[in-house]
Structure 1
Amino acid sequence: MSLRSALRAQTADCHAEVDALFGNFNLSDINDYRAFLRAHARAVPSVEAALEQSGITRLLPDWPERRRTSLLLADIAELGDPATSPLPQPELRNKASLWAAVYVLEGSKLGGAMLAKAVPAHLPSRYLNPQGPKGSMRAFMERLDTSGIDDIAGAVAAARDVFCLFLRAAQLELEAA
């Protein structure tokens, strides 16, 4: 089983839980949209910082084009919201965990493109509509498939940790509302 297939299969429950929880945000409502972005701002900067501190550019030289923290923070600022404190960074100890964390973020990016359709045109949506290089998702999946990672269990555990970070972020924003 490829790393991608293992991650998809063994994190499907986490992915479904994240989708269900984030589905509680009505993106056509400005207050819900703000909360949705704040939830992401609790998770994405933490994961991206952990990836960078762990040397993700050695595995993905195009990492700088994949980052979305600045887009997210720009959307939040345009909506007049203050910055949200990010949750603690996940521990990314090895290549398997790095690949897994990027897998979750790239999946989030793909899902974001679908969610962007629900955001009214007058609201900022740079974060959900990043203008990265064409084919970057396919390129990432090809790299993931050829990564040579044999620590499937470690990768799955890291991906689940990142999904849990998103869950916690959404719960905090939903509780505050």
Structure 2
Amino acid sequence: MSLTLHRPAILQQLRTETRPYHDALEQNEFNRALQADSITAQATHRFLAKLYGFLVPYEAHLRQHGLGPEWQPELRQRAHLIPADLGVGATALPLCPTMPPLETPAQLLGAMYVLEGSTLGGQVLARQLGKAGIEARTYFSGHGEQTGPLWKSFCQLLGEAATEDNQAEIVASAAATFQTLHAWIEKP
């Protein structure tokens, strides 16, 4: 007997409708340097500092929404890993002053799609940084062996939470999250 995994329709919609924003974000200086095998510790540190500045306010919204324990919100908060990777105190890192709207559950789910999905790509980045001899990669390691299962759990929960009434808001929030994060990363 073969097991067929159910892939919620919202995932395909998110993937399709946010692809241009995802692709644009991936063209940042850090990713270009990785692709060109010219990554430096300085570029890695700058990118991590920018991620931290975005994650701190995002994670504050994540805590405020009071997601149920099935979402494992405490495991999905990873900003605290970045100052250790950088060897600096958290107060030394700037915070993103403008976040996408994260007031409704649907808006939070759209943002979560972006940031939870980044844990999968982060593992690839961690391997590339390791090959380049760059130590600052704890954040990129995601949840280690639990990264895949946590992503699958998120996708299942997202599929259950998505309705005809909130799907457009989820997708719009994911797009806004990609765009806001991209603008923040590109800001000097």
- The equivalent of 2:96 in structure 1 is 86
Change (3 A) 1:160 1:80: closer
2:27 is equivalent to residue 20 of structure 1: yes
Unpaired runs of at least 5, structure 2: 1-7
Q: Which residue of 2 aligns with 1:31?
A: 42
TM-score, normalization by structure 1: 0.84
Of the structure 1 ranges 117-126 and 6-15, higher mean CA displacement relative to structure 2 is found in 117-126
**Structure 2 residue corresponding to 1:149, chosen from 148, 153, 163:** 163
Percent of paired sites with the same residue: 24
Distance across 2 between alignment mates of 1:20 and 1:59 = 35
Q: 1:148 to 1:130 in 2, by over 3 A?
A: closer
Greater C-alpha radius of gyration: 2
Q: Provide the TM-score with structure 2 as the length reference.
A: 0.80
Q: Does 1:43 align with 2:54?
A: yes
Equivalent pair of 2:126/2:141 in contact (CA under 8 Å): yes
Deviates more, 1:4-13 or 1:88-97: 88-97
Per-residue displacement from partner, 1:44-95 (whole Å, max 9, x unpaired)? 222222222233x237541101111101222123599932223333322322
Distance 1:168 1:65 in 2: 26
Q: 1:127 aligns with which of 139, 143, 150?
A: 139
Q: How does 1:59-70 map to 2 (within 5 A)?
A: 60-70=70-80
Quote the residue 1:6 is aligned against.
13
Number of aligned residue pairs: 172
Q: Which moved more, 1:119-128 or 1:100-109?
A: 119-128
Please state how far the C-alpha of 1:15 moved relative to its aligned partner: 0.5
